[in-house]
Structure formats: structure tokens, C-alpha cells
A and B are shown apart, each in its own frame.
Chain A
Amino acid sequence: MTPVIRRRAFVPAAAVVGGLLVWGATGLPPVGVYRGPYGLVLNQVAVAERHATNVVAAVTFDYRGIDTMGEEFILFAAVIGVAILLRAMRGEAEHEPQEAVRGRRVPGTSNAVRVVGLALLGPIVLFGIYVVAHGHLTPGGGFQGGVVLATGALLVYLSGEYVTLRRVQPEHSIDLGEALGAGGYVVVGLFGLVAGGAFLANALPLGTAGTLLSAGTIPVINLAVGLEVAAGFTLLLSEFLEQTLVLGPGRSGR
């Protein structure tokens, strides 16, 4: 396709899409006006029914908990897919991590990055746990807190060496965390089936709204999701780092 034909094809297509966009935008409700009845009802009843002060968490982990379970398994499948795609292939061999290869000068980590990274590690991990644990009370939850926790692993890599990262994140415990997190959600669902009569029924004591131990199964599910997401993202990070720093064409191929 020559640039001229491409441009001729682009202009009418862009005009049609642009027209549809403008037409669609004119039918939108004004900014700040909410027309769905569902959210308004939930805002009225969620705190009384579920003792969760974060209504978003009550929706995602209780009223529509099965949707979130599907989403969790999407992430689970994606992480497994990446792990399979990035496995060591035939004709690839593990090298010494790039930092240790002789004859190649890698600029060392500056002391400033090292100090900031190590100083941030504790607060980041604590903040991640806080966001996971308070998902039913304040904005946040297992997903957001899990990603924050996984950035802890990134900080270890940034402020040390790849070798250090390998030492502090044993692969087996990460795999275990990933599996426990994904399976834990289903276990909570089955518990609801047994104790409450429906899959994912909130069958735990609801406690006092606004306290850490309240909202029944919501914080438990948050914990499972937090574990799954933290382990999943850490696994992604280490798979990518392994690909980049350790794996390369096999020695025979050189």
C-alpha cells in the first residue's frame, strides 16, 4: 500500500469514526450526573447490609464477587501465559547475570538510588499491606495493594543486584503465593456455598462497620486477591528480568 492510497483510505475512515464519536458524545449525560439506579440503591443499603464502608469493595467482592473472581483468573491466566512464553527455550542457555559478565562494564548502581530504594522498601511494603487490609474500609484493596507490594521486589532489584533479588524472592514461595491467592478466592466462595447457601455468600460475622475486622468475607477475599496479585506481578517482573539479564543464545550458538 503506497502512502497516497493509505492517506485516501484514512481520510473517509477517520471522518466516519470522528462523526460517530461526536454523535455519541452529544448523547452522553452531563458531567457529574449519574442515571443508573443500581449505584444509588447500593449507596443506600451497602453499609447497612455488609458493614463495609467502602461501597466499591462491597460491590466488587460481594454483590458482584463472581465477576471479580473471573477477573482474578484472567490475571492468573495472563501471568501463566507470560511465564510459559518467557521460559528458557531450546538453544538458549543461562548466562552469568549481566552484571557479572567479565569484560563488560555495566554502570554501577549509584549510591543515591541504593539509599532511596532501601529507605523506601519498608514503607512501600507496609503501605501495600495497609492498602490490602483496609480494602473494605477505604479506597484500595487486594488488587491495588498487591501491585504496591510487588513494586517492593522492583525496589530490591533497583537498589541491589539481580542476584540479591533472586535470593530474597524464592521462586517456589512466589508460585505458592500465586496459587494460594487464586485458589483462596474459590475456597471463600465454596465456604459461602456451604455456610450461607450460595456461592460467595457473605457467611462470616459482619462485625462493626468501620473496624478492621468487619464486612465478613470481603477482607478475606481482599487478602487472597492481594496475595495473588503481589505474587503474579513479582513473577512477571522476575520472568522479564531473567529474560533480559540471564537468558541468551546458547553457548554453542556463539
Chain B
Amino acid sequence: MTVLLAAVLLLVAAAGTAVVLVRDPVNQAIMASFFGLLLGLAFLVLQAPDVALSQITVGAVALPLMILLALAKVRRSRR
């Protein structure tokens, strides 16, 4: 249990760092989605399935989607 939690937390930390290090906004949105999924996994390991579900739906789906759509709009209006 502790090993599993430590592994998941390390993955979350790595993914969070990767979100910051990736500089292209589109890649960043995809990375943020991956980070959201891992964070959901961490909540699941911590036995909070309700929070995990919310985290996955919002952090891995809704938020990156809004970022991608906003980016698409910005790119289109620049053209």
C-alpha cells in the first residue's frame, strides 16, 4: 500500500514537472490531461473514489478540452 502510494505520488510529481517543462501550449494541454489522470489514480489509491472520478472527468477531460478549444480560437483569429 505504502509502496503503491509512493510510486503513484512520484508519477504525479514527474507528470506535474513535465507539464511545466513542456513549452508548446498544445503539448502542454495533453500533458496536463495525463497529469490529471495520474492525480485521479492517486486519489483512487488513497481510497477516495468519488474525488478520483471528479478529478478524472474535470482534470483529464474538461480542463484540457477548454484549453485546446481556446488555443484553436486564438490561432484562428491570428491568421
Interface positions of A (Cβ within 8 A of B) = 31, 54, 56-57, 98, 131, 139-141, 143-144, 147-148, 150-151, 154, 233, 236-237, 240-241, 243-244, 248-249
Could you pull out 16 A-B pairs where Cβ atoms are within 8 angstroms? A31-B5, A54-B50, A56-B50, A57-B50, A98-B76, A139-B53, A140-B53, A141-B50, A143-B54, A144-B54, A144-B57, A147-B58, A148-B57, A154-B65, A237-B65, A248-B77
Q: Which residue of B has the minimal Cβ distance to A146? A: B57
Contacts of B73 in A (CB 8 A): 240, 243-244
Interface of B is mostly: helix
Chain A: minimal CB distance from B46 (Å)? 8
Do B50 and A140 have beta carbons less than 8 Å apart? yes
- Cβ-neighbour of A131 out of B52, B53, B72 (below 8 A): B53
Contacting A at CB under 8 A, from B1-39, are 2, 5
Q: When the two chains form their complex, are residues B69 and A240 in contact, meaning their CB atoms are under 8 A apart?
A: yes
Residues of A within 8 A of B49 (CB): 139
B37 to A: closest C-beta gap in Å: 14
Q: Which residues of B contact A (CB under 8 A)?
A: 2, 5, 49-50, 52-54, 57-58, 61-62, 65-66, 69-70, 72-73, 76-77
B contact residues around A248 at 8 Å (CB):
76-77
Residues in B neighbouring A249, C-beta threshold 8 A: 77
Q: Which residues of A contact B50 (CB under 8 A)?
A: 54, 56-57, 139-141, 144
Residues in chain B near residue A240, CB distance under 8 A = 66, 69-70, 73
